[in-house]
Structure 1
Amino acid sequence: MEHIDVAVIGGGQSGPAAAHTLAREGLRPVVLESGKQAAGSWPRYYDSLTLFSPARYSALPGLPFGGDPDRYPHRDEVVAYLLRYAERLDADIRTGRRVTSVRLAGEGFELDLDGGQTLGVDAVVTASGGFGRPNRPALPGLETFTGTLLHVSEYRTPAPFAGRRVVVVGAGNSAVQVAVELAEVARVSLASRAPVRWFLQRPLGRDLHFWLTATGLDSAPLGRLQRRPATMAVIDDGRYRAALAAGRPDRRPTFTRVDGPVVTWTDGTAEEVDTIILTTGYQPDLGYLAPLPEALHGAGRPRHQDGASRAHPRLAHVGLEWQRSLSSASLRGVGRDAERSARRIAKQLRRS
């Protein structure tokens, strides 16, 4: 059985960021990515996805994003950047390697991979994000819906929905972005429990992330909250707010129930709907940690403090929402958390 220093599970933005610091600490990290390339879930996001943070604030440790620092990079630019990052990384990146379970083995762990291989490792850093575990809320009657039901992780482009009646459930950045582009070709409602909250993208002539960085709010240690706010504000330069004000799409309170193809709204009206798209977020995709005692809560969320496992000192996490700050799961913030988690792991291994 092959034995390695540190297994980093996930090769998107979080895993390589952690491997960067692990290598600088003198360790030999192996990044295990289930996909065909070291870009994580980014190639599978919807086609029009554009970052809300400028390129200057969207880089991982050790490699600037490149190009105009004030532009807002498109999904494909992010994929290309992540591939460049992986090429320059001083780490062994293995694609097509899905981890199915992690179990204790002495002071370290054994990892089972899809296909039958087993690795012995001294420490583990999880960086698998949540794309593989979409959050699908139990809305009344949703299981009876006879139209097309999608999570936003399955959405790519508005073309297949032309001329249809579509309901987008959610009130965050992705919900608004998808609903507005769909409204160009379909009749769309944005359904949410609360009205959409807005943040100006460029208050006082500077990008929002300039102010978050200058004030320290972007990196402030808020991880002890262990949960995201009930509603996240949508970052907007005015276009999305204007589109909703014009009713393209219209915004409504979440429907009260679904019966087959029929959606009933809070005012009692009912109508047939062709498609419901859930933009309701993700949960940490950490099912492979189930064999580790006390590693996860009952809901499958990790038991951790600022990314350090509460039960296993050689287990750390990177890229969790609100892991330590409001930017923990983003390109602009994951590097800080990756550095902390990687140095903590290196310190644990030096003690042995």
Structure 2
Amino acid sequence: MSMIYDSIVIGAGQAGLATGYHLQQAGLRFLLLEAGDEPGGSWPHFYDSLSLNSTARYSSLPGLPFPGQPDRYPRRDEAVAYLRSYAAHFALPIVTGARVVKIERAGRFFRIVTADKGCFRTRTVVAATGFFGRPNMPDLPGQGQYRGQVLHAAEYRRPEPFHRQRVVVVGGGNAAVQIGVELAQVARVTLATRHPIRYLPQRMLGQDIHFWLKFSGLDRTQWLDEQSMPVFDTGKYRTALAAGRPDQRPIFERFSADGVIWSDGRHEKVDAVIFATGYRPHLAYLAELGALDETGRARQSRGESTAVPGLYYVGLPRQRTVASATLRGVGADARIVVNHLRRYCQVQQRTHARRATEAALKRRTRVWVSRGHELMGLIGLMTLALRQQIAMQRLAAPRLVGEALVRSVTVSAGFLGLGHAAALYAPNLMRS
């Protein structure tokens, strides 16, 4: 029989690694299943120049500080290296190349089916595939007839392939602004947005903005929704957009065969359109459990499934705080989830042990009563047979001797047992 784990974590990115750390600290049997070839989640697939919008000081997972000068803003490659060293440092049990296809109930346990690594059984599941599993790709009018290049920010790597091209970047968040400003150095770029861009100073009163978010309590409020997340800016991006590098316009109305049509009706040829329109959690593998709503979102509250007992989440946007989907926030969320998960395992194991004990006691009671009834029945039958034999002998024996013999046989059969009674009194019957 295959091992039954206390918990299996789906994903070995920042959310999965933080969860693995806390499971290890709790002394639970666990495993991380990672679809990629190495731990790190989505980080290796982001564009080359990406930099964190939090300093190294506020970009650490639990138990291991981000290396280097704490007030700098690490780049993508540094984040990838940090996550891989984190997994190695704590020797977290990770199965790579394990893409989860579906999860189903198997009695008291979950059965996890992967594409290439077989099946696994576990008491609990933590979905830690995070927020960046599936690019959010809009479908705008005329997009199917456009002959230029259309891609998502997840596919963008560096500016050189777009040298001297006409590019439109769609979106108003951190990724859209970072990519737009970078591309504007080699191409003619427009940043197309549905809403005005909101900026938040990267530093205030000598401290990084994440210091103020964390220690003011604003982290735990819902003052920002997914559409209004500001661009964290040291002044670089606001200055670039004010100088028209890139320029900014309301999003175009539709695609044409060779470009776009702006809201004022003007047509413009465009070589490429890059959608920096965010991501959606990849949770399709939970569909058969009934864990998702009609839009594909998790039915959960603060990381605990409200639809499936034993199912948990780490890394969802605003799961508990504004930082829940970031390096800064996943550690605290993972700790809370593992505490709930551990209590769930304890209750489940106690319940199972109690039911098993009750069932064993019932089986033993039934066997004892059944055998006792069977023995008494056999003794009664033999006593009756002996009585009949004695009655036949009475014809040739005195009355008083016969009655004494009946009483003796009855008492012996009751107290000494069937075999003893027969052995003791058969000779007497023969002599009678």
Identity %: 50
Q: Deviations over 1:66-103 (max 9, x none)?
A: 21000000111111110111012253111111111001
Cα deviation for residue 110 of structure 1 reads 0.3
For residue 189 of structure 1, what is the aligned residue in structure 2? 190
For residue 253 of structure 2, what is the aligned residue in structure 1? 256
Cα deviation for residue 221 of structure 1 reads 5.4
1:339 partner letter: R
Q: How many residues are paired up?
A: 347
The one of the two structures with greater contact order (alpha-carbon pairs below 8 A, sep at least 6) is 1
Q: Alignment partner of 1:214: what SS?
A: helix
For residue 150 of structure 2, what is the aligned residue in structure 1? 149
Between the aligned partners of 2:232 and 2:331, the Cα distance in structure 1 is 22
Cα deviation for residue 2 of structure 1 reads 4.1
Between the aligned partners of 1:41 and 1:109, the Cα distance in structure 2 is 26
For residue 351 of structure 1, what is the aligned residue in structure 2? 347
Cα deviation for residue 204 of structure 1 reads 2.2
Aligned with residue 271 of structure 2, among 259, 270, 274? 274
Between the aligned partners of 1:114 and 1:327, the Cα distance in structure 2 is 32
Is 1:64 the counterpart of 2:65? The answer is: yes
Cα deviation for residue 28 of structure 1 reads 1.5
Aligned with residue 337 of structure 2, among 331, 336, 341? 341
For residue 284 of structure 2, what is the aligned residue in structure 1? 287
What TM-score does the superposition give when structure 1 sets the normalisation length? 0.96
Between the aligned partners of 1:214 and 1:5, the Cα distance in structure 2 is 34
For residue 296 of structure 1, what is the aligned residue in structure 2? 292
1:124 partner letter: V
For residue 199 of structure 1, what is the aligned residue in structure 2? 200
Between the aligned partners of 1:257 and 1:154, the Cα distance in structure 2 is 22
2:47 partner letter: Y
Between the aligned partners of 1:73 and 1:153, the Cα distance in structure 2 is 19
Q: Alignment RMSD, CA only?
A: 1.4
Q: Deviations over 1:282-301 (max 9, x none)?
A: 111011111102x0012211
Cα deviation for residue 260 of structure 1 reads 1.7
Between the aligned partners of 1:349 and 1:10, the Cα distance in structure 2 is 21
Between the aligned partners of 2:145 and 2:206, the Cα distance in structure 1 is 48
1:101 partner letter: K
Cα deviation for residue 4 of structure 1 reads 2.1
Between the aligned partners of 2:341 and 2:14, the Cα distance in structure 1 is 19
Is 1:165 the counterpart of 2:181? The answer is: no
For residue 382 of structure 2, what is the aligned residue in structure 1? none
CA contact under 8 A between 1:4 and 1:122: conserved in structure 2?
yes
For residue 44 of structure 1, what is the aligned residue in structure 2? 45
Cα deviation for residue 277 of structure 1 reads 0.4
Q: Alignment partner of 2:110: what SS?
A: strand
Unaligned runs of 5+ in 2: 349-432
Aligned with residue 237 of structure 1, among 229, 234, 238? 234
Between the aligned partners of 1:24 and 1:204, the Cα distance in structure 2 is 37
CA contact under 8 A between 2:98 and 2:117: conserved in structure 1?
no
1:331 partner letter: L
Aligned with residue 313 of structure 1, among 309, 315, 320? 309
CA contact under 8 A between 1:131 and 1:153: conserved in structure 2?
no
2:99 partner letter: R
Q: Alignment partner of 1:319: what SS?
A: coil
Q: Deviations over 1:158-183 (max 9, x none)?
A: 01000111000000000000000000
Between the aligned partners of 1:132 and 1:331, the Cα distance in structure 2 is 16
For residue 16 of structure 1, what is the aligned residue in structure 2? 17
CA contact under 8 A between 1:42 and 1:78: conserved in structure 2?
yes
Between the aligned partners of 1:166 and 1:34, the Cα distance in structure 2 is 33
Q: Deviations over 1:250-269 (max 9, x none)?
A: 00000011122220111111
Cα deviation for residue 241 of structure 1 reads 0.5
2:266 partner letter: T
Question: Mean Cα displacement is larger for which, 171-180 or 228-237?
Answer: 228-237
Q: Alignment partner of 1:291: what SS?
A: helix
Cα deviation for residue 137 of structure 1 reads 1.6
Between the aligned partners of 1:133 and 1:2, the Cα distance in structure 2 is 31
Between the aligned partners of 1:115 and 1:214, the Cα distance in structure 2 is 45
CA contact under 8 A between 1:221 and 1:325: conserved in structure 2?
yes
For residue 212 of structure 1, what is the aligned residue in structure 2? 213
Cα deviation for residue 3 of structure 1 reads 2.7
CA contact under 8 A between 2:97 and 2:117: conserved in structure 1?
no
Between the aligned partners of 1:216 and 1:132, the Cα distance in structure 2 is 29
CA contact under 8 A between 1:28 and 1:91: conserved in structure 2?
no
Cα deviation for residue 116 of structure 1 reads 5.9
Between the aligned partners of 1:87 and 1:180, the Cα distance in structure 2 is 36
Question: Residues 98-137 of structure 1: matches in 2 within 5 Å?
Answer: 98-115=99-116, 117-137=118-138
Rg comparison, structure with higher value: 2
Between the aligned partners of 2:189 and 2:254, the Cα distance in structure 1 is 18
1:228 partner letter: D
Unaligned runs of 5+ in 1: none
CA contact under 8 A between 1:167 and 1:188: conserved in structure 2?
yes
Question: Mean Cα displacement is larger for which, 316-325 or 134-143?
Answer: 134-143
Which is richer in helix? 2
